[in-house]
Chains A and B, each alone.
Chain A
Amino acid sequence: MAQPFPYTYYSCDCYDSATLAPTSKRASHPARAEEEDERTFDPRNPRSNYSLYPLEHLLYCEDCRQIRCPRCVSEETLNWFCPSCLFEVPSSMIKSEGNRCTRNCYNCPICTSSMTVSSLEPPKVPTADDTGGLAGPFFLSCPYCHWSTLDIGIEFEKHTGITQQLARIRNGGKVVPTPKEREKERDKKRDAEARDESVAKADELSPEDLNPSEPPPQEELFSNLFAFYKSQLSLAAPSNPFSPHHDINFSSPSSFSRIMNLYSSTSSKKQKKDKPAPMREACSITEGLVPYNPSLDAAAVEALKTHGWSHTLSPTQKLHQTSPNTRFINELRPIPTLLRTKRGKRCRTCRHILSKPESKITSTRYKIKLLGLNHIPRLSVRALSSPIPLPTMAASTGSQGFDYARLSPGLPTHFLLTLSNPLFDPIRITLATPSTTAGKVQSRVTIMCPQFEVGANTDVWDDALSSGLTKRGATASTDPGSGTPQVEAGKIWDRGRNWTSVILEVVPGFLKPIPGFDFGLGGELAKKVDDEHELDEDDDVLEIPVFVRIEYESEVAAEDRAAAGAEHGRAGAAGGKEKREEAFWCVLGVGRIVGGP
């Protein structure tokens, strides 16, 4: 994700903790902390991409006392809705109609922008009885790239029910029977076949069928095959007493288990029963057979020859099409809008609900929402030398003061690292960072004061009463120009009600090694750097891994105390207080190093 500098990502260790030996969580905690002391989080590790999240994406499981990232929660769908018309689609309809909007919502097959229905007639001369110029014919058009269904020769009679109308019109405007009508047609044909089976098979493949000018549409092919295998299954399973011999509904769980039984019985009771007769394959077009048609290939080659490259589709455009055989722009169809879901989230370990939005589509509220940012401190970083940039000014005006995208190599730069505490108890923080960053560009990092306390997050009324005080603190820290505290090792920079700032000194590394200067690295390491000084994309981004450990004493929750000391009571439950600690890695993206000294 492209975040502007400076940013902070938080690491969820769910993958690593899953790979560690699954010992009792409480007992192994100190041991694991020690292990983590040894192991440094490397933000450049490809795996890190999948464990780093912005704070607002993290949830917190109060039972596991762990942050939960999108990887270690399980999602459950509450409902489906169309992102364009915002109508909820019942789940029964999802099963029958699929996961696309069946109203008038379409996306442009060229650029994915959502399409609008317009009238082909120019707006009428204003008359009193006119209904706003809603006279057909209509067409779908893209407001962004101006592709329209007229490009594929499709017009509509009405401005509503586009899906039904579109199902009946092929590209070029040829009206074909709807899938329902086609189904009926097919059943009729099959019945006819069944009646006079003596008719030679070759008869079925009429020359017109054998040589269609275009392949059958995907939906027709699917419904033909579906009907064929349905009939084959019911034929193959007459011995199954539960089978009603017809109309197996694949979407119902009972018939699904029936089908599964069918398979398992053939395998387990093989010796008891005869082998089932092998199912025959589709052998006519009504059954879903697609005979190879060389003329189609020839036509494709011809189209390539005459229209050239610009007539073909890009891979993305091709993937967006519902039919996998679409090759040329004249075969494009408008894309019915994919539905979206509203989802609740559960802890994958203990199954507790972590977030549950209200099911109404229009509501943005949550019934349950356990946020990570209410449980772990927020780390924010910014350059010390400049005031907080005003986001309302364009970056190019130079009012930002500090250019995070142009860090000078070799020049010690001070950053202000602020931790704010969301908890109602004061916390003790221990920060740790590797002295040089991993990767090809080695930057030196020093946290001036790695151990400090952050005040409790007192409730909202205290905040309101002491707002003047916090404000004063804030201005002191944002205003380093006038009589500021010195950058001093072992001392915090500033603190407020529930936040503390410390200084982070960074010496950005050199993108190109300087000959004869190994920059404090061992000669061997410098040589290594020299050997592979070829930089990859984003190697110049300065990301600092920081290990954060918080310790605090908290009131033992009543139910926890009742739930016996077996679990947490061990951890010093004296006086109704218990000691808690939490630790995690995070990554501070402080900027981009400019090339050359």
Chain B
Amino acid sequence: MSRPATRKAAPKGEYIETDSGNKVSRRAAITGTANITLGGRTVISADVHLRGDLHPSRPAPSSSNNGPARDAPPTSISIGRCTVVSAGCVVRPPSRVSRGAVHYYPMKIGDNVFIGPNTTISAISISSHVHIGAGCVIHPFAIIKDNVKILPNTVVPAHMVIPSGSVVAGRPARVVGEVGEGWGVSAGGAGGGALGGAGGQGWVEGGDLRELVRGIR
């Protein structure tokens, strides 16, 4: 039962760490890097496919976070801080056929979002402190608000809006409950200890994922 304490299945240096602390697996497939923004301390695991090449053909509106309105490449995927995209996920901006052409729409994912392994995401927006289980499919243009928990193997249909504080499950997804008032709060409140988390791992679902990010090497 006991095995050596090497938790890394991959060879040394699995992750490339950027200046802002993003950890991107060498085994991740990222296309259209110029169209992807990572907020810092965000993890992109192995076998994740980020489809940055599917970007809006029209120039992005000037309100995009690129500061000066210079000729910046259009953003197709923007991911916030301390968000973890697990192994085997596919992140693909949603598209719509209009005027005889395929148009892609920029996807936004907030801070402290956990996306479980082998999940496919095409949502238009995912807010912060969202926990998405393994094996989910989020269809195009779904909107997921803050503090939402999506149980494993859920299929969120296209255009579904999930209001904040919902627990969602099923195929198609339905709201099956509400997260408790303590969602995302680790034990000990502000001074949550190193072992505050539910499995003794220093982080809780929907909470600050910094500890989880730190543990991924």
Q: Which of A's residues lie within 8 Å of B, judged by CB?
A: 1-2, 6-8, 53-59, 81, 83-86, 111-114, 116, 123-126, 130, 132-133, 142-145, 340, 345, 355, 364, 366, 369, 371-374, 377-378, 380-382, 385-395, 397, 399, 401-402, 416, 418, 420-422, 457-460, 462-463, 467, 470-471, 473-474, 477, 479-482, 496-499, 501
Contacts and interface: CB of A to CB of B under 8 A. Distances in A.
B98 A498 contact: no
B3 A386 contact: yes
Given A81-B163, A390-B7, 5 more contacts: A83-B175, A123-B99, A124-B99, A387-B5, A499-B195
B98 A457 contact: no
B7 A364 contact: no
Interface in B23-67: 43, 45
B108 interface: no
B200 A86 contact: no
B80 interface: no
Among all A-B residue pairs, the 6 with the closest Cβ atoms:
A56-B182, A57-B180, A378-B187, A126-B99, A392-B86, A143-B158
A462 B191 contact: yes
Contacts of B3: 386, 401
A126 B99 CA distance: 5
Given A114-B160, A373-B185, A382-B199, A457 B165 contact: no
Contacts of A123: 97-100
Contact of B182 (A58, A85, A393, A498): A58
Contacts of B7: 387, 390, 399
A480 B31 CA distance: 40
A56 B183 contact: yes
A364 B165 contact: yes
A399 B88 CA distance: 14
Given A125-B100, A392-B45, A420 B1 contact: no
Contacts of B162: 83
Nearest to B155: A144
B163 A340 contact: yes
B84 A496 contact: no
A214 B200 CA distance: 62
A83 B168 CA distance: 13
A6 B36 CA distance: 36
A374 B188 CA distance: 6
A391 B116 contact: yes
Nearest to A377: B187
Contact of B159 (A143, A390, A393): A143
Nearest to A81: B163
B16 interface: no
Interface in B153-179: 155, 157-166, 172-175, 177, 179
Contacts of B139: 143-144
A133 B145 CA distance: 29
Contacts of B145: 86, 364
Contacts of B117: 392-395
Contact of B195 (A126, A402, A479, A496): A496
A457 B195 CA distance: 12
A516 to B, nearest CB: 28
B50 to A, nearest CB: 15
Contact of A83 (B99, B163, B172): B163
B197 A380 contact: yes
Nearest to A125: B100
B198 interface: yes
B151 to A, nearest CB: 7
Contacts of B180: 53-54, 56-58
A458 B45 contact: no
A481 B5 contact: yes
A393 B189 contact: no
Contacts, number: 213
A422 B189 contact: yes
Contacts of A418: 195, 200
B187 A422 contact: yes
Nearest to A461: B191
B157 A144 contact: yes
Given A2-B151, A364-B147, A459-B190, A394 B118 contact: yes
Given A401-B3, A460-B190, A114 B161 contact: yes
A86 B160 CA distance: 12
Given A143-B159, A497-B193, A402 B1 contact: yes
A111 B88 CA distance: 28
Nearest to B1: A385
Most buried by A among B139, B155, B161, B183: B161
Contacts of B74: none
Nearest to A117: B159
A380 B200 contact: yes
A373 B198 contact: no
Contacts of A393: 9, 45, 86-87, 117
Contacts of A470: 193-194
B21 interface: no
B28 to A, nearest CB: 12
B9 A422 contact: no
B198 A380 contact: yes
B193 A113 contact: no
Nearest to A1: B177
Contact of A116 (B146, B159, B194): B159
B192 to A, nearest CB: 8
Contacts of B100: 123, 125-126
B194 A114 contact: no
A382 B200 contact: yes
Most buried by A among B100, B155, B193, B197: B193
A160 B183 CA distance: 37
A458 B200 CA distance: 18
B80 to A, nearest CB: 15
A373 B182 contact: yes
A518 B103 CA distance: 69
B172 to A, nearest CB: 4
Most buried by B among A145, A373, A392, A393: A392
Contacts of B72: none
Nearest to B127: A364
A371 B161 contact: no
A459 B196 contact: no
B195 A380 contact: yes
Contact of B188 (A387, A457, A474, A482): A457
B20 interface: no
Contact of A112 (B43, B147, B172, B195): B172
Most buried by B among A55, A59, A386, A391: A391
Nearest to A371: B182
Contact of A496 (B181, B189, B191, B193): B193
